[in-house]
Structure 1
C-alpha cells in the first residue's frame, strides 16, 4: 500500500462502486483518498482492487483547499476516523454504491454509530456496512443552513452493541435499510439468535438476519421523546 501514497489510483469497492483519486494516507484498516475535492475515508475491508492509474487515466489531480480533513489523536484507523468526525463535522456516510446518508455522528459505539440527519432524524448504522465517509468542509452550509454546533443525540445512553440496541427497541416501529431496495418497516417484535422478528403493516410476521441490516431508523412518538 505504501507504494501508492501520493499517486493517482483506481479503487474497485464491494457493491460495484469505482473511485479514482490520489491516495493520501492509510492506516490499520482504512485509507484516505482525495477525489474531486473530497477526502474519502474508505475501510480496507470493502476494497476489492487497487492499482495505479496511467497518465492518460489520471488526467490532472490536485490538492483541494476546500476539502475537509479530520484531526486524529491516535494512529489512523476507522474508529479514529469516526470519533474525529463525531466532533462536529457534517458528513456523508455511504452504505451502498447508490445509497448515501448525510448528517452528524452523535455516538460511536463498539460496532455501530448513531447518526442525526435533517431528513430522518436518528439512524443506527453498523460500522461494517460503511463503504466510505466524506467530511464536509467547515464553511459548508448543508441544505443552506449554518449550524453553530452539531445536534445532540436524542438517544440517552445507547447500548454499546448493535444487537443490544435492537433488543432495547422491542415494541418500537422501525424502518430498516432506508432508501434501499430491501427497505422495510414494521413493529419490532423481538430478537432470536441471529434474527429479528418484524410485524409488517398487514401483520405478517417475518424474520430478518441482523447481519444484513444496513440501517435502522426508529420512529419515536412525541410522548416517548421525553423518556429517551
Structure 2
C-alpha cells in the first residue's frame, strides 16, 4: 500500500505527539511504521502511530541545519519499529516513554509486545512497545553520564523472559514493582495479581489500587 508520508522525505516539518509535545526537524526516512527525523542535533526514530499531526515548517520557523552525517542505525531493507529496535540492540540509546525525562541506556531483549531496556538509573525495565514515543541512538563515542565499561557494562540481563508483557507481569506477582517510572506514589507497590487486563497493586499504605494493563508503559523491579 502506498505511504502518503513518503512525499515528506527531505522536508522540514513540525510533528505533534501525545501530551501536546511538538518536535521539529527534517524528515530523513519513512518506514512501514516509523519516521526518522533529524532535529538539528539527533536522529529521532518515532513510531508513526503516535504522530497526531504533521505540518511543514514556515520559513520563519526554519532554523534547523541540514544533517552533516547519516543516521546511526544502518539498514538495507525498509525500516520498521521492530527492525530499529533489533538493529539498536546493545547500542547506547535514549528513549522517551512518559513524563518529562528521557531515559538513556540500552536495549537488551525484544519480545512480542515489549522490550527490555537497561538504564543506569532505573536498572532493568520492561517497556511496552505500544508506549514508546521515540528512540535516539547515541553516536559511537557517547556514553550515558560518561560512565565507564565497568560502571555500565553492555551485557544481557540474566532473567527468564515471557513472550508477552502480560505473561511476564503474571510472573512478577508478589514482587515490589515500580510502574510508569513511578510518576506518582500510587504506581509503586506490591504486585498482587493480574486478571482481566487489570493489575491489582498494594501501595505502601496497604491500599488496593486497580490499574488498566493497557495504560502500563514501563515496569521494573525495585531489586533489579
- Asked if these proteins are the same fold (TM beyond 0.5), I'd say yes
CA-CA distance at 1:73 after TM superposition: 5.5
What residue in structure 1 maps to residue 210 of structure 2? Answer: 207
1:25 paired residue among 24, 29, 45 = 29
User: Contact 1:115 / 1:123 at 8 angstroms: preserved in 2?
Assistant: yes
> Structure 1 runs of 4+ off > 6 angstroms?
none
Task: Report Cα offsets for 1:127-172 as digits up to 9, x if no partner.
Answer: 110111101101113211243962321323x001000000010111
Aligned to 1:225: none
> Quick one: distance in 2 between partners of 1:183 and 1:12?
29
Name the counterpart of 1:92: 94
* Cα separation, partners in 2 of 1:164 and 1:152, compared to 1, 3 Å: same
Q: Superposition RMSD on alpha carbons, in Å?
A: 1.9
User: Which digits, 9 at most, give the CA deviation of each residue in 1:171-226, with x for residues without a partner?
Assistant: 111011115247621111111111011111121222111111111011237xxxxx
1:8-87 aligned at under 5 Å gives the runs 8-65=12-69, 69-72=72-75, 74-86=77-89
Q: Say whether residues 1:189 and 2:195 are aligned partners.
A: no
TM score, norm. by length of structure 1: 0.89
Aligned equivalents of 2:110, 2:76: Cα separation in 1: 15
**CA, structure 1 residues 125+150, in 2 after alignment: closer, same or farther (shift >3 Å)?**
same
**1:2 corresponds to:** 6
The 2-side partners of 1:50 and 1:3 are apart by 12
> 2:155 matched to 1:151?
yes
My pick for the range that moved more, 137-146 or 123-132, is 137-146
Deviation at 1:24, TM superposition (A): 0.1
TM, length-normalised to structure 2: 0.90
Name stretches of at least 5 consecutive residues in structure 1 with no aligned partner. Answer: 222-228
Cα distance between partner residues in 2 of 1:185 and 1:134? 28
CA distance in 2, matches of 1:55, 1:97: 31
Select between 50-59 and 37-46 the one with higher mean Cα deviation: 50-59
Contact kept in structure 1, 2:37 and 2:45, CA below 8 Å:
yes
Structure 2 unaligned residues grouped into runs of 5+: none
Once the two structures are TM-superposed, the CA of residue 57 in structure 1 deviates from its matched residue by 1.3
The question of whether the paired residues in 2 share the 8 Å contact of 1:15 and 1:97 is answered with no
Alpha-carbon distance in 1 for matches of 2:65, 2:108:
33
Query: d(CA) in 1 for partners of 2:102 and 2:185?
Result: 15
Listed one character per residue, the Cα deviations across residues 55-113 of structure 1 (whole Å, up to 9, x for unaligned) are 22112422134x75212354200010111111x21111101362321111001110001
Change (3 A) 1:135 1:12: same
- Following the alignment from structure 1 to structure 2, what is the Cα–Cα distance between the partners of residues 64 and 179? 38
Q: Indicate yes or no: 2:186 matched with 1:180.
A: no
2:131 alignment partner in structure 1: 129
